[in-house]
Structure 1
Amino acid sequence: MTTQDLAPCESTRAQIASTVWFSVLIPGLGHLLQKQRGWALFWFVTSQFLLISGFYLADFSQLDYGSPLGIGGNTIIYFLIPESGNFLSAQIFARMYDSIESGGRYPTEIPWRNLGYIMSAMSGFLGIFSAVHAAGILSRSSASSSHAKTLLNPGSAALLSFMLPGLGHYKTGRKFKGVLLGGSIMALFIVGMMLGDWADFDRQRHSYYWVGQMCMGGSGWLTALMSEPAKFTSVMPYQDVGLLFTTAAGFFNIVASLDAFHRAEHDILILEPSNDISE
């Protein structure tokens, strides 16, 4: 068997798949099904607090950036990225409230609008990463090796890389790769922000690019908060290039997070007696 062939057994993969679906539906539910009550409470409370607070701070103007999807005029789901990562709660709010524009108000009238956008987006991303974390717990707990159970949860490695590019790789012992990936992604993001004069991180102005920028995780969220007062004073000649750079950096960060999960899971699987790669 080669290292490329390493994978959890079929029954574990089936459990991981169901855990992921339940966690995306309600953050923490996947942990609860594994009897991880502490983690279940943490993910549920954190995700719901951020979503509810974010919606109220932005006066539900997030709904202006979503689209109802349905058949024959009947809405089945409300497509709102990234808030739909906290799926069920986002759907409930979308049906209970209307966007402020339908009431004749304009988003710029809301003083805490951008903070609300960031908080509700954090809820969606954390909802997704609660699923990743739950999958990592299941992957590690299914290992027969006692040493494997002491290794870093693959979901934690992914979350660390998401919050700070490269950190998940660094914590699993891949220090050079962590620094290389983290440095490259952060450099791309910072150069992009500089090209946009640090004022090009705005959901209202560039809603699609904004989603990609928010994929930068903790570093992106902090940048969004710090750059919120910045306003364009003139047309920037390389503004579009800056948008592409920052959005690409966010997407690369997601790829790096998935790779961190894979590497941490590999460290667990390679210790399994049935996965002897010396053949």
Structure 2
Amino acid sequence: MPTSSNERRGDPNVAVLLTWFLPGAGHLYVGRTALGLLVLVLIEGLYALGWFLADGRTFEYLDPELRGPFATLLTPEAGNLGALLLHLKSSGFGASEPMPFPGAMLLGGYLTSLSGVLNLFVAAHVHLCARTVRAPSPSARNPALLLACAWLVPGLGHWLQGRRLRGTLVFVLLAGLFVVGTGLAAGTNLSRERHFYYWSGQFLLGAPSVLFEFFAGHPRVTGELRWVDVGLLYACMAGLLNVLAMLDVCGVAEKRWFEAAPSAAEPAKEPASSEVPA
């Protein structure tokens, strides 16, 4: 965070909007040039690499009847709107004729999804930058970092805030809901190709959903799955509920952040003089 400056850095909402369209643009707007350029390279680099690995065919997973101008707004990639729009303009929904998927299709989809989610944390950070006049004490944790931790592992953000009971409950309940849902769906929820939108929802659970898909793979369906709809709902709901947990972490983190920051109207404290008056 920049240190003492009473000048306004810019409108926080404008900074967020700029970041949504182009990662790093919001930081350039508020004067954080180096960080803005770094964010631009990392976030857009992730999306570009995913796009390349999947040959631009990530959204080919969508059934033809679901494809439309707003069909991709419920995907993690929507967090990086500029890249998403460019993706749709250049590649659309993939090949017009049936073709084998690229070997790295799965990894490519993960990278573009990760780019969108990470850009949301970048937007939270730049919004905070624009509102912070003076940096708080070094011991204060940045809310954007805690928000990212809350996504990566449900409950981790609460744990780092010292709210360990709540963090443990969040992890047990959400991870448990996801495990039960995965069991009822016989692992079919782990495939973006099979359940495009449900996969998008459970991706918000962070590491548990990614690790389950990595280790469990995509099991074959050899018979009727009686409880598949219930399982899909449970697994997706775990990710959506994690968003509420993330908002709880962010609200408390911002309150503590601004409580630790000196007021803009508060004069800087002068160091005590060592001279003894005559």
Task: Name the TM-score class by shorter chain.
Answer: 0.7 to 0.9
Which one-letter code corresponds to 1:90 in the other structure? L
The alignment's TM-score, normalised by the length of structure 1, stands at: 0.80
Counterpart of 1:68? 69
Q: Equivalences for 1:81-230 in 2 at 5 Å?
A: 81-102=75-96, 104-106=97-99, 109-139=101-131, 141-143=132-134, 146-147=136-137, 150-230=139-219
Match of 1:32 in 2: 28
Contact 2:134 2:262 in 1 (8 A): no
Cα distance, 1:183–1:79 mapped onto 2, change above 3 Å: closer
Tell me which moved more, 160-169 or 175-184: 175-184
Question: Structure 1 residues 40, 62: CA separation in 2 closer, same or farther (over 3 Å shift)?
Answer: same
Q: Identity rate of aligned residues, in percent?
A: 28
Alignment CA distance shift 1:206-1:13 (3 Å): farther
Identify if the C-alpha distance between structure 1 residues 80 and 59 changes in structure 2 by more than 3 Å, giving closer, same or farther. Answer: farther
The answer to whether the 8 Å contact 1:186/1:249 transfers is yes
The equivalences for 1:243-254 within 5 A come to 243-254=232-243
Alignment check: 8 A CA contact 1:78 1:94 kept? no
Q: Is contact 2:203-2:210 (8 Å) kept?
A: yes
Letter in 2 for 1:261: C
Residues 176-232 of structure 1 show CA distances to partners (whole Å, capped at 9, x for unaligned) of 111111221111111111222223222221111111011112332232333334222
Shift of 1:272: 6.3
Does the C-alpha gap of structure 1 residues 35 and 262 become closer, same or farther in structure 2, counting only changes over 3 Å? same
Query: Where does the alignment leave 5 or more consecutive residues of structure 1 unmatched?
Result: 1-10, 70-76, 275-279
Using structure 2 for the length normalisation, give the TM-score: 0.80
Gaps of 5+ in 2: 1-6, 264-278
Question: How many residue pairs were aligned?
Answer: 252
Displacement of 1:165: 0.6
Per the TM alignment, residue 143 of structure 1 is displaced from its structure 2 partner at its CA by 4.8
Cα contact 2:16–2:26 (8 A) shared by 1:
yes
Greater shift in the superposed pair: 219-228 or 152-161:
219-228
Match of 2:47 in 1: 51
Give the partner amino acid of 1:88: G
Structure-2 separation of matches of 1:23 and 1:56: 23
1:94 CA displacement: 1.6
